[in-house]
């Protein structure tokens, strides 16, 4: 009798388990019904996580804020919004610069405005138009990507790219980026060693470089 009761109880418990399992499966199936949203959300999360890891890996907290440097005489108001500032026929070695806008604690800043302007490979600015001028907003991971050329020398100046970085709702940080291994760096009064681009080898086509803009925020 006891054995029979036990068997009944076990049977009932098993049935309950089965009911529960069915309910869970139903719930899973219900969740899975909204596949497009769930899938795209998961993909976006994974991508954000990967890029956040890249950002974190390229920044050691507490990081030193960028050095603010003079705007110089060639900034032109109202540049176009674009990440490719070079064009067919522009003199200079094609160059792709990537990086992040980050706080001193390496938190990526989305929607930061990054405004670049520079001379072409012969050291000439386009002061009539907007060639080699343009601004962009960092993406959700604080990343930017610039397609340009390596700038040339002009009297008194080593190779440099001008930049204004403006975190959303924040102040503007004006600075300049420099290239390693340029002999004129040591004769340039504006040059700052901590604003050197991390440059790929000369054999890479196009040349690529990275630079993280650390703004003076916690």
Give min distance, CB of 101 to Fe ion, in A.
Answer: 21
CB atoms within 10 A of CB 77: 4
Segment interacting with Fe ion, rule: CB under 5 A, options 22-30, 40-48, 68-76, 107-115 = 68-76
Using the rule CB under 5 A, is 152 a contact of Fe ion? no
Give min distance, CB of 176 to Fe ion, in A.
Answer: 7
Q: At what angle do helices 35-57 and 2-33 cross, to 10 degrees?
A: 80
Segment interacting with Fe ion, rule: CB under 5 A, options 69-77, 80-88, 107-115, 131-139 = 69-77
Nearer to Fe ion by Cβ, of 141 and 175: the residue is 175
Size of the site for Fe ion (CB under 5 A): 1
The CA-atom distances, in angstroms, between 86 and each of 34, 59, 81, 144, 168 are: 43, 28, 13, 16, 26
Give min distance, CB of 38 to Fe ion, in A.
Answer: 50
Segment interacting with Fe ion, rule: CB under 5 A, options 35-43, 67-75, 78-86, 105-113 = 67-75
CA gap 116, 134 in Å, rounded: 6
Among candidates 212, 77, 70, 90, which has minimal Cα distance to 150?
A: 90
CA gap 194, 178 in Å, rounded: 9
Residue among 48, 71, 72, 130 that touches Fe ion (CB under 5 A):
72
Report the interface residues with Fe ion, using CB under 5 A: 72
């Amino acid at each position: 009798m006891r054995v029979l009761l036990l068997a009944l109880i076990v049977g009932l418990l098993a049935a309950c388990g089965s009911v529960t399992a069915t309910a869970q499966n139903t719930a899973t199936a219900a969740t899975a019904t909204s596949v497009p949203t769930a899938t795209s959300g998961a993909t976006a999360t994974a991508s954000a996580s990967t890029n956040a890891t890249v950002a974190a890996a390229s920044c050691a907290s507490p990081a030193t804020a960028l050095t603010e440097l003079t705007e110089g005489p060639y900034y032109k108001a109202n540049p176009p919004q674009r990440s490719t500032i070079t064009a067919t026929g522009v003199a200079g070695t094609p160059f792709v610069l990537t990086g992040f806008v980050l706080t001193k604690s390496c938190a990526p800043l989305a929607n930061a405005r990054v405004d670049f302007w520079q001379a072409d490979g012969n050291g000439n600015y386009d002061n009539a138009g907007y060639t080699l001028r343009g601004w962009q907003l960092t993406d959700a991971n604080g990343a930017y990507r610039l397609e340009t050329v390596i700038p040339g020398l002009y009297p008194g100046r080593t190779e440099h790219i001008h930049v204004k970085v403006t975190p959303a709702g924040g102040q503007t940080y004006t600075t300049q980026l420099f290239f390693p291994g340029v002999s004129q760096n040591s004769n340039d009064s504006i040059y700052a060693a901590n604003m050197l681009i991390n440059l790929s080898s000369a054999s890479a086509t196009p040349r690529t470089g990275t630079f993280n803009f650390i703004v003076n925020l916690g």
